Structure 1
């Protein structure tokens, strides 16, 4: 390529993050903008897209052969007290990466790269780092079986705890007691928070956390009561009534916080497992699509939504169980701020309008508060919902579900 005598040809490399289809245009626009701001007599004559070629590589480790348990314990003690008498061949002592192609089967690819790695590992200026079949072994990057089992058990334990919490089964296992529930919450939270921090460290997300967390806290303030209302609505659905307006109390906050904690815990579970695996096997950070952010985040959000639906399902089951208690003549316990009242309803006239079954005369009904100028109640005797205007009925609250209405009306 030739230029005029008054011009000098320069090759300029511009590294830019952009969409591949418009990367060339973006690079030229960036160069023109810089030239204009610097008042340079410069223009782009030819621009081409140069992509970095990433050749797949297979990693092989040179590590000492595993000895008896007593030898490994002695090695760990020497490392702890720094006596300098530890085994110099313990663990991975050398690492080589062999370029490979994807046009052959995996067994053939592994066998070929393993032979190439053994050839390379047989040469090294340090004698202790040359391959010695009697001392060393060549293997792929892996996690110790004990740590792998421990990480898997921690994952299963945390997932089980979240599932039991979402299904509302913690009282059945005694976890509603602080002596049992506090250690479970502490262990699960340690696994989730520790794994999440290990997953995001040395990433752009880690640098964004100082301002992401303060931004997320104000968003949770209106979200918690809204989630609690959905839990109360699911609980009252078997009765056919709606939550009482203005019932955003402590129980509503607790129900919403329950849903939010379960969703966040389930969403962080795959990310935490990813962080622990990266910590236990650092070589796996850049290998395998299952260690990328997208699958873990997608799976976590899906699990969070599934566990949130499980909470609503368990709330509906609790409502059905309490409806059966009321039909059997027993009192209904409070459920996250939703408390039942028992009242005798007497229409002011025979022509008083109502929706549903007619109000009973000899037995009390179940009330969950009034909605505007109407009152919705559930009749245990007829097992149906009834709605009537307040001005068309006289309502007398009684203490229990088996209280006689005749005595209460006097």
Structure 2
């Protein structure tokens, strides 16, 4: 398989081609360019016969596709290539090459467990590359014994263990032969402690992201640097470390040096837009819209809130996959379509769901502050959205307005003006009103319980 033409399906195609030196040479050139092996027929391989002047060849067409349509895709690809180069070639028979799976049981030859001091010394020597480490530490050999699935598991394990011990007793190197005093034979070791730690960190990270999306970090004290700082380090280290482990030795890893600088300029206009969505969701219970042209630090903070939650949630399955691949190298042979694509799809779906959770949290905060205003309390600032209390007096009894009539005896809540109009919300009537600035006199008062006297009007 070449780097330019990766494949995951192989199809053996029996073709007939004109028995001329030029045609056979062109066929060889086409197959070499595609990385496809071509050979003559073996004795008794097929019953396909050719007419005089024609000869048969077997081509292994290697393509990337799904199993159900791999044969049709291979034949169509070969026909298209033959037509493009005017090659006298016809497909006669095509068969999908199936991978033969043979059940096997794996046994490992490992050194017997040493004391903790010996293992620490081995780790130090191994890190310093002094060559004085324990040569029997860890797995030194592994053998796989073919087995059948129709026999009981206990009998299957006992039979393959005896066969494995017989195989492990022979090796050109004496240190790799089975020595009962030094070695032990066992199944593949699973670092359950590290796996449990990775899963526990996954739960902690997912919980932290969920609390961040729901706006509950202050409830657990994470707004304090003593609690929030270590939590951010743990969550960030888990996500970044696992993601790098997942994408290493992949085309994505090679694209990261230019992909990351490309995403930064795209995020600059995205952050204020996301912040505007948060402010709009917050103001939705009041029935008003955020005032345009008020982009500031609050918009940036709200946008970063949504962006951080989305990115962290999207990277969560990928990071877990990376840690599992690092702790269990055997997962690498299962192929990307069984692990990589579902992780990315799940991550994007979870990121969008948690992004909606942030908007729901903003709307819930707006509803809580709306109830606070009804009860007569002052509304706190929310990501740059500041509520002001004002007394509104129409300039004339016939001044046009949209909604309920403006109250004259009590203040209303305004969140800034929209062009030549101002929208305000009456906590007592629980209704929204919009009026033109030229049709009303607006006086800002410090609190909701401030009186609207004639002098203030």
- TM-score, normalised relative to structure 2: 0.76
State the alpha-carbon separation in 2 of the partners of residues 224 and 365 from structure 1. Answer: 31
Pairing of 1:207-226 with structure 2 (within 5 A) = 207-210=254-257, 212-213=259-260, 216-217=263-264, 219-226=266-273
Query: Which among 424, 431, 434 is matched to residue 388 of structure 1?
Result: 434
1:112-160, Cα deviation, whole Å (9 max, x unpaired): 6555544433443333323344433334434434433432343233223
Listed as ranges, the gaps of 5+ residues in structure 1 are: none
Offset, 1:364: 1.3
The answer to whether the 8 A contact 1:354-1:386 is kept is: no
Query: Which among 435, 445, 453 is matched to residue 398 of structure 1?
Result: 445
Call closer, same or farther: CA 1:21–1:146 in 2, change over 3 Å.
closer
SS of the residue aligned with 2:432?
Answer: strand
Which protein has the bigger helix share?
A: 1
Pairing of 1:220-239 with structure 2 (within 5 A) = 220-239=267-286
Listed as ranges, the gaps of 5+ residues in structure 2 are: 1-47
Which protein has the bigger strand share?
A: 2
1:349-407, Cα deviation, whole Å (9 max, x unpaired): 5565656554333321111123455433222334x022132255332222333333217
Match of 2:369 in 1: 322
Call closer, same or farther: CA 1:127–1:254 in 2, change over 3 Å.
same
SS of the residue aligned with 1:386?
Answer: strand
Call closer, same or farther: CA 1:360–1:158 in 2, change over 3 Å.
same
Match of 2:392 in 1: 345
Call closer, same or farther: CA 1:336–1:110 in 2, change over 3 Å.
farther
Offset, 1:243: 2.2
Match of 1:13 in 2: 60
User: What's the C-alpha RMSD, in Å, of the aligned pairs?
Assistant: 3.4
Alignment of 1:240 onto 2:295 = no
Query: Which among 182, 185, 191 is matched to residue 135 of structure 1?
Result: 182
User: Which range moved further: 284-293 or 62-71?
Assistant: 284-293
Match of 2:94 in 1: 47
Offset, 1:289: 10
Call closer, same or farther: CA 1:106–1:163 in 2, change over 3 Å.
farther
Alignment of 1:75 onto 2:122 = yes
State the alpha-carbon separation in 2 of the partners of residues 85 and 371 from structure 1. Answer: 76
The answer to whether the 8 A contact 1:353-1:388 is kept is: no
- TM-score, normalised relative to structure 1: 0.84
Match of 2:342 in 1: 295
State the alpha-carbon separation in 2 of the partners of residues 234 and 102 from structure 1. Answer: 59
The answer to whether the 8 A contact 1:345-1:360 is kept is: yes
Offset, 1:91: 0.8
The answer to whether the 8 A contact 1:396-1:409 is kept is: yes
